[in-house]
Structure 1
């Protein structure tokens, strides 16, 4: 992309406020880091995905096994990212690791896919789930108006964007609070399920591993549903530069968070199948609400509210983390320079956060959320697997590179093989959505060579480009980040 414009006198005066350097601050301690991961992972997935896992796995026992394996696979991936995050202490997660290990083109393609459809799809789905649960609480048993659901969803996105533009501390405190509330929701589901199980209600688990309905081509879709519910384990790596003592806190936060989430998810699914039959799970579009109507009759109205809060927490975590990838990409010259700038007083990557907002709102209005989520899974997991390959390549090429946290070699190898197996099998099970995902991602190749690799604006256009960037700096009150060494 175009070179960073020369700073004006006004911009130089804005570089420091109250004698402080304009940069991202290390304000995320261990508790906010744990809350950030759990709060992002635990969203609408655990309340909706069990139906998709059961449909594609074919039995109760196998679906529970899929949930366990998805948790283990996510933990393996999180451990790989913990090593990468302590070896490369820049924010940006997938983008940074691909850039440092495999080069600029894979990194740019990950950035391109993330902001073209992966992140807007995930945020749109989460905000629509929030809107649906909030609105339906007032319209039950009637169908909630779609326009009202979308309006409430847009308001939720607007609120989250405002919080993340305003203050890093406010966003992290909001995440801690919402995480605490959503864990209460999971406990309210687990307790009655465990009580019913202790009383001997086990008929739904008998013959739990009947695999007559299982076909190999549907198994990747079962994993995609489960892995979507675990999605977000990598979000702490988006904000490495803002984590206090990352060499210690990142591995601790990742391990504790993923073990906790896996245990809770398996227990929640056991509770579902203790109270509900597989047929009832398949008939429900909101499994948690159906469960509450059967097992928590007195608290049934509370569950939709708690689910909505859970969705809001995941939405907040996504908007907190993902813009940091764009911020780092712009800082490396793969995106316009304005998106690598920080608000001079609030120390938030304001332009990067604001760019994501219209993309999510546009996707909300179109309403093509579920199809987009299906084909976005291929690109997401392909690049995650590629980052694990990068870890192995970098270990081989630079064995003496400092790695404060190093996982056993079997973990990245297993994670890489399983991810590529799932991604490759999806080419057979869902070729249409997978093909679209590949095609859209590959559109980034000519964009990279035209705008990054060989980009040279004529002098006249360069002046116009720099002028527009400076005006946006003044309007948004942002400045270039002070370069720091970690």
Structure 2
């Protein structure tokens, strides 16, 4: 294959997006399909546990949807103002310089993306295991082994073929929508029949970090390319509230058939719902929930593998991570690296600790990105802004981000936050050794490692980097 073919294969999807404007409806579908993953199937329990009552639980879901919409609008302004690829990296580079930008790249690839992958695969594993351990909690070793197997399979699929990975994603996205519709319609029917099981409606304490539904804001970097400046904010204003309504209705469906105590005691909330509502076809729920979560995991693997590929190409990671498989023409080294890191996170952690781990790191850089938007309102007035949100919105989401970073540390200190900070700061070592100063002895270490890995995996550097 020619170097041109190698480059175009890895960016074929991006090239289509760059040259094709899609309509408002397609933009809304992209938002809905990206956000709905495993969160709604694993978050109801920790959200209810922290709010301690049904009413505040539903209000928190609604409030998170409003905040997500405001944050997405800020990302829309950033994406149309700075049109470079790389998620938050170019925004932080423009606002604060190379070190914060590199630390985001480092943290995203070492902490946020792999821990997110691990969370989704663990939730997939728990729902699959729940079907075989109906009367008891499945052993941790079984759950973790199945999650690790899921990571291995998805990494292999995406390393073998771009087409195969895309096909798997399309199938599981359809399954995701099916299970959401089933749960919502079942809940509406039961409500119409006058059924609602609850113990009390009241206010309890709220720990916002564990309440946030998982949102992939940097997917808006794709949307700002395929949507024009008029449709982008409309897609956000319609799409994210639509997801919020789905989440609220699914929670209402859960509470229709379970009391808060029963929901907290459930091993898998959606499975318990299916057992009570859809029997004898209750097997449909865990099957489609598993499809939904594995689809979300596949999408994460597909996109993040290419982020790692770009980081290697830019010299922010080992150069071998930017190499391409000779036989498969996929970024196999980047995908294998991503799968290994995600598997490591599965070994010591559970879903709740990983959610805290992921949320802390994510909100730290979300806050920096929102602050960067405020800074550039004064330092980069020359930049064209096709979309410009009222300044009160970035101020609000910046303050909220600071709260979400500090609140868990103050209210319930845990080792996960210290580990996360250490991971972030350790990026400075790699930055100064391999990126800034490029010490000769560091290059002597990295070059033979790159050479041996290249021969082992049969990969080569692209002769021409994709634009």
Tell me if the contact between 1:98 and 1:387 (Cα under 8 Å) persists in the aligned partners.
yes
Q: 2-side partners of 1:464 and 1:434: how far apart? A: 34
Aligned alpha-carbon RMSD (Å): 3.3
**In structure 2, the residue corresponding to 1:404 is in which secondary structure?**
coil
Moved more, 136-145 or 42-51: 136-145
- CA gap 1:80/1:343 in 2 versus in 1, 3 angstroms: farther
Output one character per residue of 1:219-265: Cα deviation in whole Å (capped at 9) or x when no partner.
23xx22331x333243353x579x64676776565454423211100
**Match of 1:359?**
341
The 3-state SS of whatever aligns with 1:27 is: helix
- Cα distance between partner residues in 2 of 1:245 and 1:346: 32
Specify the alignment match of 1:398 in structure 2.
380
* Aligned equivalent of 1:457: 440
Q: Which residue of 2 aligns with 1:235?
A: 219
Matched residue of 2:85: which SS?
A: coil
Change (3 A) 1:245 1:187: closer
> Aligned pair 1:15/2:10, yes or no?
no
Using the TM superposition, give the Cα deviation of residue 152 of structure 1 relative to its aligned residue in structure 2, in angstroms. 3.2
Counterparts in 2 of 1:98 and 1:167: CA distance versus 1, 3 Å: farther
Q: How far is the alpha carbon of 1:204 from its aligned partner?
A: 3.0
Distance in 2 of aligned mates of 1:474 and 1:279: 51
| Equivalent of residue 260 in structure 1, options 204, 222, 242 | 242
Query: Residue 11 of structure 2: SS of its match in structure 1?
Result: coil
Distance 1:159 1:467 in 2: 25
Report the TM-score when normalising by structure 2.
0.86
The equivalent residue for 1:275 is 257
Aligned length: 459
In the alignment, is residue 448 of structure 1 matched against residue 431 of structure 2?
Answer: yes
What residue is the counterpart of 2:110 in the other structure? 116
Question: How big is the shift at 1:46?
Answer: 0.9
Asked whether 1:439 is paired with 2:426, we answer no
Whole-angstrom CA distance in 2 between matches of 1:89 and 1:346:
30
Cα drift, residue 199 of structure 1: 2.9
The question of whether the paired residues in 2 share the 8 Å contact of 1:51 and 1:285 is answered with: no
1:318 to 277, 286, 300: 300
Could you tell me the TM-score, scaled by structure 1's length? 0.83
- Of 16, 32, 57 in structure 2, the residue corresponding to residue 27 of structure 1 is 16
Moved more, 359-368 or 73-82: 359-368
Kindly indicate whether residue 409 of structure 2 is the aligned counterpart of residue 427 of structure 1.
Answer: yes
In the alignment, structure 2 segments of 5+ residues that lack a partner are: none
Runs of 4+ deviating beyond 6 Å: 344-347
Cα distance in 2 for partners of 1:374, 1:466 equals 34
Q: Does residue 1:386 correspond to 2:351, yes or no?
A: no
- CA pair 394-353 structure 1, distance change in 2 beyond 3 A: farther
Q: Distance in 1 between matches of 2:9 and 2:270?
A: 45
Residue 269 of structure 2 corresponds to 287
Closer, same or farther in 2 for the Cα pair 1:87/1:55, shift >3 Å? same
Contact 2:210-2:355 within 8 A present in 1 as well: no
Matched, 1:184 2:166: no
